Structure 1
Amino acid sequence: MSPVVNRRSFIASTAGLAAAASLPMPAWARGQSLPHARNGFGELAGEDLSLTIGDAHFTTGGRSGHAFAVNGTVPGPLIRLREGQDVRLHVTNNLDEDSSIHWHGLLLPFQFDGVPGVSFPGIRPGETFTYEFPVRQTGTYWWHSHSGLQEQAGHYGPIVIESAEPDPRYDRDYVVLLSEFSPMHPHEIMRKLKVGEHYFNRQMQTATEGDMPGAERRMWGAMRMNPRDISDVTGSTYTYLVNGHGPADNLQLAFQPGERVRLRVINGSAMTFFNVRVPGVPMTVIQADGQDVDPVEIDEFQIGVAETYDVIVTPSAGSHAITAEAMDRSGMAVASLTSHPGHIAIPPPLREIPTLTMADMGMMDHGAMGHGSGEMAMDHDMRDTSKLPADVAVGPGLDMIAPAPMDRMDFPGLGLDKVSHRVLRYTDLKAARSNPHRTVEREMEIHLTGNMERYMWSFDGKKFSAVTDDPIRFGYDERVRVKLVNQTMMAHPIHLHGHFFELVNGADHMHQPLKHTLVVQPGGSATFDLTADEPGDWAFHCHLLYHMHAGMMQVVTVRPFPEGEGS
């Protein structure tokens, strides 16, 4: 057997549960000694798979509460598929409420995309729905509920699609699925956010704290905003998880010295941006959202909700902390990548809490805001809706606009713009294979809008419930350039179902990287090129769960259907 085939024979599952017959591993590496192994995930593979959704009780550290389990675990099982196969997934709902599964990032007929009210009616209690589609791609993806707020409570899991050809770039393969757990019911979290958007923030800046100039501080006050308003839900209620394990669970992922280890990092959280690093170990990014990119060596990257990044590391002998620090620095998810049985890596301490800047309000720099008599003028400018296009609805759902939104594709993420080591930026990504070049036929602009005090979120000032009869329309195979303009002071990971789009990130037209989820930075803009070649009705939304639930969602419809395909 070739070395590649040997490697394939012992690819480990995400919780370190599998090992090669040709390279015997001790029991600890197979997971027997891992705390809460019952809450890790197993693995399903093949062409005919069954998933069952049910109620469960989940515990990690000192927190315990209700959860939605799939096949009895939180997260649910890793689904391992292979390029070119046809798959049937039978999903049974044993809850007392409707449910669903969306196959995030997968190319498939829209009827099997799994969004109730958009592409199918949902799965009623006691019923089974069969998803059936050909596997047309490779890479790292994930699945999750698109019903209510079930995703927050454990209804999610990873997907790995193997290439038909072996990949010689690595020797060992792990999924690193990042998420959160709260003992608080998701609907109670939503209720508290509607009552007060700062409810979970224990890190608000006081009137005298920090070195912010007085004029700037007064401006923040005049806008009724706080420069530490970074995350809606924080470590005050969340325990951050790796593969369903909190920091106290001491999750260990085994490796042998000298091995090249592929980490398939998935942000399967409901609300958390993570800053991911393995201190002292460089990472080489090889995929973004399941799509190959030219290798980029970095030391840290920020991953938005619903994004995936695949990296290769070659750790030295010992134990290394896989660290996923929440963007607001209110906690972290941790696992140990170790070559020594039972050795736990010590993660670095939480770093200083980041603070929003004038750029996050869509201002060029401090000079752009003015001082003295200019303070209130700028405050007025941030509510001057005359600057918005006519198709943006002005009303209670829109409480500010960015005076001068700039393209922020080169921004590495809040808190990472001033670190001394190498941090991934969208402008670093370049498609590994050339894309067919096509001229853009049409351009459109979509504004990300909100009222944080009322916890209202929308596209173009219109909540989803108000726009269901007015979808975003693309002609089949139309080539469109879409500019997203973030009029709010929060980062939004925007996801388009059923398609990959090309980031307009400075790469040449043939090598713009493909993604399915794009983080639009506060007060900034981001642009992508879309070839609308997947007919049907597709969800388009912010992947911050409570933002989507509060209205930041739309339907994209691609018509007409090609000849021979029905609606």
Structure 2
Amino acid sequence: MIDAIGRRALIAGGAAAALTPWLPLWAKPVSAGLPTVSGPDVRLTIAHQTLAIDGRDHHAIGINGTIPGPLIRLTEGTQARLHVTNRLDEDSSIHWHGLILPFHMDGVPGISFPGIAPGATFTYEFPVRQAGTYWYHSHSGLQEQMGHYGPIVIDPAGADPVAHDREHVILLSDFSPLHPHAIFRKLKQMGGYFNHRKQTLSGLLAGRDQPLKDRIAWGAMRMDPTDISDVTAAAYRYLVNGHGPADNWTGLFRAGERVRLRIINASAMTTFNIRIPGLPMTVVQADGCNVRPVTVDEFQIGVAETYDVIVTPEDRAYTLVGETSDRSGMARATLAPRAGMAAPVPALRPRPVLTMKDMGMGGMNHGGNHGGGPACAPEHAAMGHCTPDAAGGHGGGMDHGMRDMTLAPTVRDTPAVQSISPMPADRTGEPGIGLEGVERALTYRDLIALDRNPDTRAPTRQMQIHLTGNMERYMWAFDGVKMNEVKAPIPFTQGERVRVTLVNDTMMTHPIHLHGHFFELVTGKGDHAPRKHTVNVQPGGKLSFDLTADAYGDWAFHCHLLYHMHAGMMQVVTVRPAGDAA
């Protein structure tokens, strides 16, 4: 069913359909039920409201009376001015996720500005320096979990290299009737509180679960191989543009059109695996940056990532499936040529079970190319674009930086470190948990930037950062140090080129986001390495990126799983000119 707002939007879209070829891109048909704001002055109001999901009302936080908030449409090369009024009874904020802007407009209380007090209005103003699909959300407390988020589309100043006839924003999220602080309390009491799908004796006998010897090994480590998502469908409803599966949000098309789907994972804690049964998807953009087209049947989207895909549907309905990586639930929507149509909704697939590789115990490769990455071509080595080996050697004669390439013994003994991955593997060639065995599933190594990277210098410094956690106490950190225990920010010299290697010492997937910057993934693609602002680091895995620290100021650096960040997996990156001691 389509709600009243969506129905009105569809009618309006039908009336304008004949004019579509003559409309500018920003005026072409977009997602039903998503109000759009644009222009030189955008006004946004944050307030409490009711959210109806599958026929039931819930207390939530919205923007301009909608969840998600309105689609903000900007144009590259213009000046954005956004006036944000806070009608809550607590401080709030908006962070413009993935946008390159002055640090004091980034919207992170305590780092880049003081926040927006109750009843106050704050004006964000910055030049729009990019194009693509992005989003915005609160960086205050746990408000993001309650509906405080929305999409951003920035149209390019010139011709768009991605040709399409129609577009739909597909914003995925998770919502719970439980207050987010109640969810966090339960996780602190027991990290696996919401995991209701543990291994059983019947599963062992039927061969669905791990062999007994592997179970014993996991038990000795006091870890659960089915604990893939901290918060599952036991607590969540999964939404598309604010609609539950039974609401069946529907996006219309004409048969044969090139339809652009701007897919945003705005959830608090959920990694989604995206597929449209019977309809291949061609990935054309990742995190707002254009990539060479690659056609897939399914892909994983981490929290805070965005992917744009092109589909060319026939004259029938299709189900868009956002299955959670633990396969406990799904977000569902429909693409159809006419309102009221629907396609079969597939059943949830069997839940995955973690292996010893997910604990960093299966990635050793004595050939020097750990994780099975491609051999490094000489031209890539010269530019420092080779996959690092497990010992931290990167080629190119880089000097060691301010952080050692190992986790110090004193850090290992902190409460926020439950385990260390002895053999972390480069898993950028794997599609992610829940997609094992899918023939055409996207991996990071499939991504190649459409344009040459803006900075192709080889890194002159390297650092390694461990992603650490303790599920029993629900503590999360970088290098075993929680945000409230950090003594100093991570320093960069403005303009320097640094290779950062993230090592995941936990059995959880972590989407790591650096504010104010893009970085190039080290996957052997040379000067066309894919550029991202958020990267999913698989369990027991490691991943390297090259960063040009070109954005002056103080920036948040954190895991985008909301409760991991809240529990301490966040630090501050500071970028200062050479010789600046401030």
Q: Same fold (TM over 0.5)?
A: yes
Equivalent residues of 1:76, 1:157 under 8 A apart: yes
Cα distance in 1 for residues equivalent to 2:451 and 2:232: 39
Equivalent residues of 1:66, 1:185 under 8 A apart: no
Cα 1:129–1:387 change in 2 (3 A) is: closer
Cα 1:401–1:208 change in 2 (3 A) is: farther
Displacement after TM superposition at 1:522 (Å): 0.3
SS in 1 for 2:290: strand
Cα distance in 2 for residues equivalent to 1:177 and 1:155: 13
Cα distance in 1 for residues equivalent to 2:56 and 2:327: 19
Cα 1:366–1:444 change in 2 (3 A) is: closer
Match of 2:530 in 1: 513
SS in 2 for 1:188: helix
Find 2:109's aligned residue among 95, 110, 116. 116
Cα 1:132–1:305 change in 2 (3 A) is: same
Kindly report which structure 2 residues correspond to 1:427-442, keeping only aligned pairs within 5 A, or say none: 427-435=445-453, 436-442=455-461
Displacement after TM superposition at 1:390 (Å): 5.3
One-letter code aligned to 2:505: Q
Kindly report which structure 2 residues correspond to 1:318-357, keeping only aligned pairs within 5 A, or say none: 318-357=316-355
Match of 1:154 in 2: 147
Equivalent residues of 2:105, 2:124 under 8 A apart: yes
Displacement after TM superposition at 1:358 (Å): 1.0
Equivalent residues of 1:64, 1:183 under 8 A apart: no
Equivalent residues of 2:406, 2:464 under 8 A apart: no
Match of 1:547 in 2: 564
SS in 2 for 1:499: coil
Moved more, 161-170 or 314-323: 161-170
Displacement after TM superposition at 1:41 (Å): 3.3
Equivalent residues of 2:493, 2:578 under 8 A apart: no
Displacement after TM superposition at 1:129 (Å): 0.4
Find 1:487's aligned residue among 505, 529, 543. 505
Cα 1:429–1:367 change in 2 (3 A) is: closer
Displacement after TM superposition at 1:62 (Å): 5.3
Match of 2:382 in 1: none
Match of 2:70 in 1: 77
Cα distance in 2 for residues equivalent to 1:233 and 1:17: 38
Cα distance in 2 for residues equivalent to 1:347 and 1:128: 44
1:143 and 2:160 aligned: no
1:125 and 2:118 aligned: yes
SS in 1 for 2:187: helix
1:466 and 2:485 aligned: yes
One-letter code aligned to 2:537: V
Match of 1:5 in 2: none
Cα distance in 1 for residues equivalent to 2:7 and 2:474: 39
Cα 1:22–1:64 change in 2 (3 A) is: closer
Displacement after TM superposition at 1:289 (Å): 0.1
Displacement after TM superposition at 1:394 (Å): 2.5
The Cα offsets for residues 254-277 of structure 1, whole Å up to 9 and x where unpaired, read as: 000110000000000000000001
Match of 1:425 in 2: 443
Cα distance in 1 for residues equivalent to 2:283 and 2:157: 21
Moved more, 409-418 or 16-25: 16-25
Equivalent residues of 1:13, 1:173 under 8 A apart: no
One-letter code aligned to 1:149: L
1:42 and 2:35 aligned: yes
The Cα offsets for residues 17-45 of structure 1, whole Å up to 9 and x where unpaired, read as: 862765259xxxxxxxxxxx8xx531101
Moved more, 71-80 or 554-563: 554-563
Give the superposed CA RMSD: 2.5
Equivalent residues of 2:363, 2:423 under 8 A apart: no
1:451 and 2:470 aligned: yes
Find 1:402's aligned residue among 418, 421, 442. 421
Equivalent residues of 2:145, 2:267 under 8 A apart: yes
SS in 1 for 2:188: helix
Match of 1:197 in 2: 191
Match of 2:357 in 1: 359
Cα distance in 2 for residues equivalent to 1:523 and 1:533: 30
Cα distance in 1 for residues equivalent to 2:283 and 2:158: 20
Equivalent residues of 1:112, 1:132 under 8 A apart: yes
SS in 2 for 1:249: coil
Displacement after TM superposition at 1:14 (Å): 13
Find 1:389's aligned residue among 408, 412, 415. 408
The Cα offsets for residues 120-175 of structure 1, whole Å up to 9 and x where unpaired, read as: 00000010000000000000000000000000000000000001224361100110
Cα 1:145–1:117 change in 2 (3 A) is: same
Match of 1:378 in 2: none
Equivalent residues of 1:539, 1:554 under 8 A apart: yes
SS in 1 for 2:13: coil
SS in 1 for 2:246: helix
Match of 1:476 in 2: 494
One-letter code aligned to 2:353: T
Match of 1:219 in 2: 217
Displacement after TM superposition at 1:366 (Å): 12
Cα distance in 2 for residues equivalent to 1:387 and 1:81: 44
Find 2:549's aligned residue among 532, 541, 544. 532
Flag structure 2 segments of 5+ consecutive residues without an equivalent.
1-5, 20-31, 367-404
1:188 and 2:207 aligned: no
Displacement after TM superposition at 1:398 (Å): 0.9
Equivalent residues of 1:65, 1:184 under 8 A apart: no
Kindly report which structure 2 residues correspond to 1:490-505, keeping only aligned pairs within 5 A, or say none: 490-505=508-523
Cα distance in 2 for residues equivalent to 1:530 and 1:322: 35
Cα distance in 2 for residues equivalent to 1:561 and 1:272: 40
Match of 1:64 in 2: 57
Match of 1:316 in 2: 314
The Cα offsets for residues 448-476 of structure 1, whole Å up to 9 and x where unpaired, read as: 00100100000000000111x41110000
Match of 2:234 in 1: 236
Cα distance in 1 for residues equivalent to 2:93 and 2:409: 37
Displacement after TM superposition at 1:347 (Å): 1.7
Cα 1:484–1:511 change in 2 (3 A) is: same
Cα 1:13–1:151 change in 2 (3 A) is: farther
Equivalent residues of 1:175, 1:264 under 8 A apart: yes
Equivalent residues of 1:363, 1:523 under 8 A apart: yes
Match of 2:265 in 1: 267
Equivalenced residues, count: 522
SS in 2 for 1:54: strand
SS in 1 for 2:174: strand
Find 2:290's aligned residue among 289, 292, 301. 292
1:172 and 2:189 aligned: no
Cα distance in 2 for residues equivalent to 1:124 and 1:198: 35
Cα 1:367–1:355 change in 2 (3 A) is: farther
Cα 1:174–1:96 change in 2 (3 A) is: same
- Runs of 4+ residues over 4 Å off in structure 1: 12-18, 365-368
Flag structure 1 segments of 5+ consecutive residues without an equivalent.
1-11, 26-36, 369-385
Moved more, 399-408 or 54-63: 54-63
Cα distance in 2 for residues equivalent to 1:536 and 1:75: 30
Moved more, 496-505 or 336-345: 336-345
Displacement after TM superposition at 1:363 (Å): 1.0
Match of 2:3 in 1: none
Cα distance in 2 for residues equivalent to 1:562 and 1:124: 36
Equivalent residues of 1:358, 1:366 under 8 A apart: no
Find 1:88's aligned residue among 65, 72, 81. 81
Cα distance in 1 for residues equivalent to 2:521 and 2:502: 11
SS in 2 for 1:209: helix
Cα 1:532–1:367 change in 2 (3 A) is: closer
